Structure formats: C-alpha cells, structure tokens
C-alpha cells in the first residue's frame, strides 16, 4: 500500500463509485479526506464506510457546478485538517443523448459540472497547495473524449471531458514551478452508480453486461481498477509525471479485436 501518511485530500464526487473507493484507500494509507457530492445522506453513509471513527473524513454536500463549492471544500480541508496536499477532481455526470436532441440546458449541465467544476476546483486547490510548497491533482476524464462511441452518443459530455484533458496539459506547465503535478485518467465503462442516474435498476442489470465485450480485456471496469491508477498518480512514486493522460480502459484505445 502506498503511503499517504499525514496527507490531506479533497475528493469531489466522493460519495460513491470511483471517488468513494479512492477516499477509502487514501484513509487506509494514512490520509485525511474531505469528500464532496450533491447528496448529503449518501455522503454521510460514504463517510461511515470510509472511516467509521469519523476522525479522518469530513463531508460537504454541494454542487460542484456552483462556483462557491470549490472554495468551500478547500476551506473545510484547511479548517479541519490544516491544509491541502491532494485533489482528486472526480465529480462528473453522464447521460447519453443524440446530438440533435441536446438542449442548451443539458449542454450547460455537462460543461458546468465537468469542465467548469474541475477548472475552478483545481484553481482553489492550487492556491491552497502553494501554501504547502506543492501538491498533486488527479482528474477523472473519459475515454469518450478520446473516441466517439456510437452506442452511447455523448457530444456535450465528450466535449467537456476533452476540455478536462486539455486543462491537464496547460496546468501541468503553469503549476510546475509551484511543485504542483496534475494528471488525468480516462476510463472506459466502469460499473458505478452513475448508470442508475438515467436507467432503472433492471435496465442497468441488463445493459451493463453487454459492454463487457467492448473492452479487449473482456470485462467492464470496477471502481478499484480506476482508483489504483489514481492513487499511483497521486503518490510520490509518480513524482516525475505531470501533464499525462492515462487511459484506464481495458484496452479500448489500443484498437479493436
């Protein structure tokens, strides 16, 4: 297990899926975490699962699309744990819909949550990290920003995540002199609760297995698959890596069988 002893991390979208798994592993490795998300009850349950003692986890229920949320998360980390070392910029939304049917409201939802949310979260975090002499940011991007997938039309979602990928390279250059690294993982289909936001439980059970064969390695991803990559990029073992985009996709970007 990598050591994150005495490190302080913020994880957006930390109430379930990939974010929750990362938070759990960070606490196990010695860190204190602030988890953000929109659902207070879900965050409270996640906090209980992550650290039953409650001493190494704090929660903030707020929408990352709202500009005040980023600073509120940073303030909570500083007030409760004394500073900030790691940002897991993970919050996102997903809902496939044909391009010709996407409304301006839906477009804004994707861009505000995925791109603007990550942009200003990274900005608030970087300012706090400068006070500590450095830090590291790991973002969740998407395979869909690298390739278009006909079965899941996602133009606005993909465009927002392509922005996240570009942001990674730009911030790597701008923040390097502050000793702040930033990298992004680009997952393919990972079995998380996000699919339950636009399908019922029966549909999820039916549809998700059909994507196993989409991945050359023959199975969908699990939160732990992506969490392992995120933790590596956040760790000192990755101290010479910044501005990188790491596909965590069961081989999808490599080509087709």
Catalytic residue numbers, as ranges: 157
Long-range contact set of residues 233-239: C-beta below 8 Å, sequence gap at least 24: 233/136, 233/138, 233/183, 233/185, 234/4, 234/9, 234/26, 234/86, 234/88, 234/136, 234/138, 235/2, 235/3, 235/4, 236/2, 237/2, 238/136, 238/181, 238/183, 239/181
Q: Give the list of residues 6+ apart from residue 42 with CB closer than 8 angstroms, or none.
A: 15, 16
């Amino acid at each position: 297990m990598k050591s994150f002893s005495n490190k302080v991390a913020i994880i957006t979208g930390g109430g379930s899926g990939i974010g929750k798994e990362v938070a759990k592993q960070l606490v196990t490795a010695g860190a204190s975490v602030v988890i953000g998300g929109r659902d207070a009850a879900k965050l409270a349950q996640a906090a209980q699962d992550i650290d039953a003692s409650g001493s190494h986890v704090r929660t903030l229920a707020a929408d990352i699309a709202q500009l005040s949320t980023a600073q509120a998360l940073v303030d909570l980390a500083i007030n409760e744990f004394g500073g900030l070392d790691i940002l897991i910029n993970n919050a996102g939304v997903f809902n496939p819909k044909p391009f010709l049917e996407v409304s301006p409201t839906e477009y804004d939802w994707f861009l505000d949550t995925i791109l603007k949310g990550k942009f200003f979260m990274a900005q608030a975090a970087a300012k706090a990290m400068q006070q500590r002499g450095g830090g590291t940011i790991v973002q969740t991007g998407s395979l869909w920003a690298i390739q278009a997938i006909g079965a899941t039309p996602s133009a606005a979602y993909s465009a927002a995540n392509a922005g996240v990928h570009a942001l990674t390279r730009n911030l790597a250059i701008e923040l390097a002199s502050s000793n702040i690294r930033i990298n992004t993982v680009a997952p393919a289909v990972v079995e998380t609760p996000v699919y339950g936001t636009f399908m019922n439980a029966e549909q999820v059970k039916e549809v998700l297995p059909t994507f196993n064969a989409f991945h050359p390695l023959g199975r969908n991803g699990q939160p732990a698959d992506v969490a392992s990559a995120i933790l590596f990029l956040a760790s000192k073992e990755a101290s010479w890596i910044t501005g990188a985009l790491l596909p965590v996709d069961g081989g999808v970007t490599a080509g087709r069988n």
